[in-house]
Each structure stands twice: as C-alpha cells, then as structure tokens.
C-alpha cells in the first residue's frame, strides 16, 4: 500500500483523494478547486497546531494522574487534585443552548437511532430506509414474542400471535374511544383522542402519537389482510428517525482508498443516488433510497412525510492522522479536520432532501473536556467560512464517552452551545476510558460488574439531568447507548424501555428491525413528560462519578481469572481478525457463548484495557494471557469456519500480533485507544495483499 501524491496549495494530497474532491465533491457546489485547496491549507495551518497541543494536554494530565495513583495519595483528596491540575474546571453559570433552527426529528420527536458503517453501501441504504418498518415482520421473524415460525412459508399460528401483539400495542398507544383494536372492522377509527388520526394513503389509515406515525395497511387482497376482519395486512411504524453514518468506530479506514470510498458513499446519500446491487435468496436485488410518503389529511389537504431517516455523519476524533493528506512538512494530517471539511463539503449536495432546515449534522466523538469541545466549535467555524456557510449551519453531536467530558459535561455543552443538537452516552468507550484514566490506581472489577458500579449509574443519570439543565429538551437529542444483541429482541423490549423512561429522547439500536421494535417504547412512554418530571430531580454528585471501580480485597479463584481472560481474549480476537484481515469495522461477532453481538472499536477498547489493567497489577501473568489467546484462537477459528474469506489465527498472523499488542501495549496507548495499533496492522495487511 503506497500512496501517490499531488501538490495542492502546499498540501500533499493523495492522488485519488484529489481526484475525488475535484471531480465529484466540488462540482455542483459553486466552489472551485483553486479556492478550496488554499482555504483547506490555511485551515490546517491555523488548527493543526492547536489539535497537537490538545493531545499533548491529554498526555500531560494522564501522566499527572498516573503519578498521583502511584504515590498512594489518599483518595479523599482526589477531586481536589483533579481540580488543581485543571482536569476539572468550574461549572459555567446557568445557560440554555441555542442551536438555531433544528429539524423536528432532532429537537422535538423522540425515537430510535441507528449507527451504520459508512463503508458498507447496503447497510447504509438499509439504515437510511429504516425510517419506516413493518411491525408484523419485526415480530414474526424474531424472538420478540415466544416461539418461532413452524413453516418456511407462513405459519398461521405465529401470524395470529403477531396480530394479537400488534392489536394490543395499538390499544395501549392509540386506543379507540370504545372497544379494542382486536374488534376493529376497518371503518374510520373512532379514536379516544381524535387528534391521533393524521390522514390516509389510499385505503390505509395514518395515526400520529407522540409525534411518531403509525400506518395501518388495508389490503384485502393480501394473504394476511384477506383473513383479517379489518383487511389489516400490516402495521407500519415510523422507526429510525435518525441514522448516524459512521466514519469512526465502525469502519476500518486506514488510507486514501478507504477514505475516498467512505466519502463517496456519503456523497451518494446526500445526492440521493446511492444504490447497491447484491444477491439475496437467489435473486439479484438493487437497493436505492426510499421515496417520501404521500398522504391526505382529514381536512383534504395533501402532505408528505420523509421516507428516510434524517442522516448525521460521525467524523473521527482529534487523535488520529491520515496518510490521505500530508502537511507541508510531510507529516500525516489530523484526520478529524479533513473529515470536517469534506463531509460538510459533500453535505452541500443535500439540497434539503435530508435536512429540511438546511442544517448539517456532524457527530464528534472522543473529545476530552471543554477545551476540546471549544476546538471543535472553532473548527466548524473555520469550515463554515471555507465553504461560505452561515454561522452554525453545522450542528454538533457531542459523544459523552470520555471521563473528562463526563466530569465537565455542562462546560463541554457550553463550549458548543450555539450548535449542539445531541449528547449521548456510550458505556463501552466510557468504560475503556475509566479503566485507562485510573490504570495505576489498582485492579479493576470484572468486566461484567462494571454495569453495577457507582460511577456508571452516576454517568447515565448525570448525562440526562445535565442535558435538561442546559435546555436540551425541545432543542436537541439526549441519547443512550447501543443494544448490542440483535438476535435478542425479547430482552430488548423488556429492558430498553428504560431509556425513554430515563428522559432520553433517543437510543441506539443495531438493526432496522430493532428500530421498529424499539419505536414501540416511544409510544408507550411520554418522553416529554418524563423530561419535565426529571428536570426537578437532583443531579447525582460528582463524587459518585469519580468513584473508581477498583476490586478492593478481591479473592478471585484461578478459574475465575482464567474465565475473565478467556472472555476478553475471545472478544478481542473475534473482532480484530475481521478488522485486520478483512477491513470489517463493525459486524455481529459471536461471543464466548456463541451469542452474536455487535462489535466495534469501543468493545475492543474495554476488553484490551481490562486485561492490560490486570497484567499491570499482577492479577494475571503474561503467560496466562497468552494461554487465553491460544485457547480462544481455536474457538474463534471454529466460529468462523464457514467464512471462505477467513484466515485462521496463528502465533505469527498479523491479527494475532495486533491482538497481543492491544493488550501488552495497552497501558501505553493514548487514552487506551485501539486505533493506532489497528491502523498500523491493517496497513501491513493491505500491503501484504
């Protein structure tokens, strides 16, 4: 893998990236190459040194924290110490965010959110089109209701279960004035609240509840509708209101070719012409973006509803650099700056098909504290100036997934108060940073016990409460993390309702099917009412958030230690082997119990940091870790035996080398991130092929 470069205003731009920008991204925007490249060069000249200084501050603070823990200083002085070194900053005076005009899906309607790797066009299209989903299909084909279909074609008993569940849901969400939806015969629905009747599309009825839509499909010629007293063939739910197209944790983008492919797919979404052709069930299928949906209101007026989720794009964080662009001195350019410039440039092709308000939505991950949030704000200012956009056209989603951000969340929000439209918790990355920040403090509890730790309860609670105190209600999303088990929809239905009950307006789901099922929660919970109630509650103390999850006085047996190592090692290998050998950044990976879980770099960060912590504190030895890797390599090989592209793990394979490096070099990795090592080994793998 060797890049070729061309000079553009002193920048050394990979040839294929320069061609993409000049031949595909710039045409149609009114921006000429001889204006864009000098502007980008100036942006880098001003901001790249700031980016580097912020990373140096991270390292300096971590070194001070490491020294504190090594010294054995009393933990009673921990918070004061963090304030003294500038890790904790003063709370801002009370304020209310003012992001300007924001689309309703972000500001005012609560509903599910998808995250999808931008490098996979098929997945992108599925996620963008997941705005609407069949409740019947979601129930019939999953474990959301007991049992499973008994027939490959259609099981009437299973169908009856689905119909009964759906009618019960309608009774709870949009009840009739009298009687049950089970007895409905297809006439004009007499609703308990007539305002819930939103319109019609042909014979179909459209309902609206909590801002979300439900379409009752009436088709007496359909096999299901033909046997239904109302002719009801399906119940379609408005599902994934928003989708994050991810250039970060769920992709393996290590060079110019990868970045161009990612930007190209984002361009296809913005232009509306992205398509993908593939084989499915013996047929060739071409998938495209769904059209908007047309209805007639009860007063006879016509209106449309979006056929697609509102799209965000997640840029990379401040840490990584990219060989797709070299600075004048030959150094790799900060990748986050390139993402900001190019994803915004590409969004100029939107012409309001995505955002009706004309906003551009960028999620910014892995920021450490308010200074880094303020830097992102200045970066977006500079990109708006480069592209002649009005100030605060670019909206920002703040990932609250690093400890210094969690502990200073109000100050972080304040730094981007005029463009923030999203805050979101992320358990796995946040746990990885928790372990790394306190790496020297002692051995951490077992990974499964982290969810019950005091810090994470405070983290999840403070995120909502601080967001409400900063005025996000009715102006921006407050989000919760991913349901990682796409095949366990019954468990999701039972547990994930806690997210809207917490006052969060959105939460991540792993598939369009999961989005449809999770959408039912937003009908059953009035999130706006929950936010009003929660706004009066006290915020969890900062001290709880700063409680380190140490395994004080642990007495683990040899078998318990081996089991923990095996669990972590299996997760690391199962993910890394696909990342390094195949460039797959997110997929359903079987865990140690052969349960498919959605894995990305966040899961890898927590597993590798956990073993690194136990190594550092003598809970496990290097030999024990290597033995776990050897045992789990055999298991991962067996789990992937049916994959013709799979290469078995051996002691000298690049995937095994990467996995070992993530653990044995884990304590030295910047903030415990996995990207530097993954990129290094993936580039070697691409060169080898």
Angle at 561 between CA 550 and CA 568, to 5 degrees: 85
- Per-position b or e across 448-462, b if 16+ CB within 10 A of its CB: eebeebbbbebbbbb
**Per DSSP, what are the bridge partners of residue 296?**
200, 302
Which residue in this structure is represented by tokens 């960060």? 605
Phi/psi at 159 (nearest 5 deg)? -60, -40
Order of all β-strands in the sheet with 232-238: 132-134, 232-238, 212-218, 204-209, 197-201, 293-296, 302-305
* Residues contacting 519, CB < 8 A, separation 6+: 111, 112, 133, 212, 237, 238, 239
Which residue in this structure is represented by tokens 């642990």? 554
Angle at 116 between CA 332 and CA 378, to 5 degrees: 45
Active site residue 591: no
d(CA 312, CA 290): 17
Burial category of 668 from C-beta neighbours within 10 Å (exposed 0-12, middle 13-18, buried 19 and up): exposed
Helix and strand numbers, DSSP H then E, in the chain: 24, 23
How distant, in Å, are the alpha carbons of 151, 203, 378, 550 from that of 233?
19, 11, 52, 55
CB 582 within 8 A of CB 589: no
* Residues contacting 499, CB < 8 A, separation 6+: 480, 507, 521
* Residues contacting 649, CB < 8 A, separation 6+: 573, 577, 633, 636, 637, 655, 656
- E-assigned strands of 327-417? 332-334, 360-364, 394-400
d(CA 541, CA 544): 6
Set 8, 293, 308, 314: catalytic member: 314
Sort strands 293-296 and 321-326 into parallel, antiparallel or unpaired: unpaired
d(CA 500, CA 526): 8
* Residues contacting 42, CB < 8 A, separation 6+: none
Tokens standing for residue 69: 């823990």
Tokens standing for residue 587: 């997929």
d(CA 464, CA 467): 5
Tokens standing for residue 476: 């921006």
End-to-end CA distance of the chain: 9
Radius of gyration of the chain (CA): 25
Which residue in this structure is represented by tokens 């917490």? 502
Active site residue 490: no
Set 430, 600, 601, 605: catalytic member: 600
d(CA 405, CA 88): 9
- Per-position b or e across 343-382, b if 16+ CB within 10 A of its CB: bbbbbbbbeebbbeebbbbbbbbbbbbbbbbbbbbebbeb
Positions annotated as catalytic residues are 314, 600
């Amino acid at each position: 893998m060797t890049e070729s470069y061309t000079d553009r205003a002193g920048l050394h731009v990979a040839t294929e990236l320069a061609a993409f920008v000049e031949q595909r991204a710039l045409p149609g925007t009114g921006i000429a190459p001889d204006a864009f490249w000098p502007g980008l060069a100036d942006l880098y000249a001003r901001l790249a040194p700031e980016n580097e200084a912020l990373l140096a501050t991270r390292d300096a603070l971590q070194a001070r924290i490491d020294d504190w823990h090594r010294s054995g200083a009393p933990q009673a002085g921990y918070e004061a110490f963090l304030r003294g070194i500038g890790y904790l900053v003063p709370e801002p005076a009370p304020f209310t965010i003012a992001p300007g005009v924001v689309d309703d899906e972000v500001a005012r309607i609560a509903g599910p959110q998808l995250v999808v790797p931008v490098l996979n066009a098929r997945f992108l299209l599925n996620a963008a089109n997941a705005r609407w989903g069949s409740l019947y299909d979601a129930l019939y084909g999953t474990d959301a209701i007991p049992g499973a279909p008994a027939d490959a074609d259609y099981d009437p008993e299973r169908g009856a279960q689905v119909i009964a569940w759906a009618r019960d849901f309608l009774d709870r969400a949009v009840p009739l004035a009298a009687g049950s939806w089970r007895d409905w015969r297809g006439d004009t629905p007499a609703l308990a609240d007539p305002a819930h009747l939103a319109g019609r599309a042909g014979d179909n009825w459209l309902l609206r509840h909590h801002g979300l839509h439900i379409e009752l499909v009436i088709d007496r010629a359909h096999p299901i509708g033909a046997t239904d007293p109302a002719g009801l063939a399906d119940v379609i739910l408005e599902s994934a209101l928003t989708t994050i197209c991810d250039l970060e944790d769920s992709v393996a983008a290590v060079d110019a070719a990868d970045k161009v492919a990612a930007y190209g797919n984002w361009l296809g979404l913005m232009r509306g012409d992205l398509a993908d052709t593939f084989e499915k069930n013996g047929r060739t299928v071409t998938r495209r973006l769904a059209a908007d949906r047309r209805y007639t209101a009860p007063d006879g007026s016509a209106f449309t509803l979006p056929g697609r989720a509102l799209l965000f794009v997640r840029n990379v964080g401040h840490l990584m650099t990219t060989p797709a662009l070299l600075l004048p001195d030959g150094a790799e350019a900060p990748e986050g700056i390139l993402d900001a410039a190019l994803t915004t440039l590409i969004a100029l092709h939107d012409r309001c098909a995505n955002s009706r308000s004309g906003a551009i939505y960028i999620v910014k991950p892995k920021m450490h504290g308010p200074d880094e949030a303020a830097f992102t704000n200045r970066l977006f200012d500079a990109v708006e100036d480069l592209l002649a956009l009005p100030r605060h056209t670019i909206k920002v989603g703040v990932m609250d997934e690093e400890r210094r951000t969690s502990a200073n969340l109000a100050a972080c929000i304040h730094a981007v108060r005029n463009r923030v439209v999203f805050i979101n918790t992320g358990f796995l990355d946040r746990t990885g940073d928790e372990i790394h920040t306190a790496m020297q403090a002692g051995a951490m509890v077992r990974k499964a016990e982290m969810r019950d730790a005091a810090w994470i309860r405070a983290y999840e609670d403070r995120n909502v409460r601080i967001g409400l105190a900063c005025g996000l209600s009715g102006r921006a999303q407050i989000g919760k993390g991913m349901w990682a088990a796409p095949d366990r929809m019954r468990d999701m239905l039972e547990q994930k309702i806690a997210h809207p009950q917490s006052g969060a307006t959105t939460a991540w789901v792993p598939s369009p099917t999961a989005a449809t099922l999770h959408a039912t929660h937003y009908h059953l919970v009035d999130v706006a009412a929950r936010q009003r109630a929660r706004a009066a509650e006290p915020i969890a103390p900062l001290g709880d958030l700063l409680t380190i999850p140490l395994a004080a006085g642990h007495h683990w047996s040899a078998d318990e230690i081996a089991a923990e190592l095996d669990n972590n090692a299996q997760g690391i290998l199962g993910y890394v082997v696909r990342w390094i050998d195949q460039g797959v950044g997110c997929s359903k990976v079987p865990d140690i119990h052969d349960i498919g879980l959605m894995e990305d770099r966040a899961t890898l960060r927590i597993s590798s940091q956990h073993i690194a912590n136990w190594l550092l504190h003598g809970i496990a030895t290097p030999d024990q870790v290597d033995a776990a890797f050897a045992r789990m390599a055999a298991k991962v090989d067996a789990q992937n035996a049916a994959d013709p592209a799979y290469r078995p793990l051996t002691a000298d394979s690049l995937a095994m080398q990467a996995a070992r490096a993530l653990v044995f070099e884990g304590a030295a990795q910047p903030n415990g991130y996995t990207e530097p090592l993954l990129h290094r080994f993936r580039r070697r793998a691409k060169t080898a092929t």
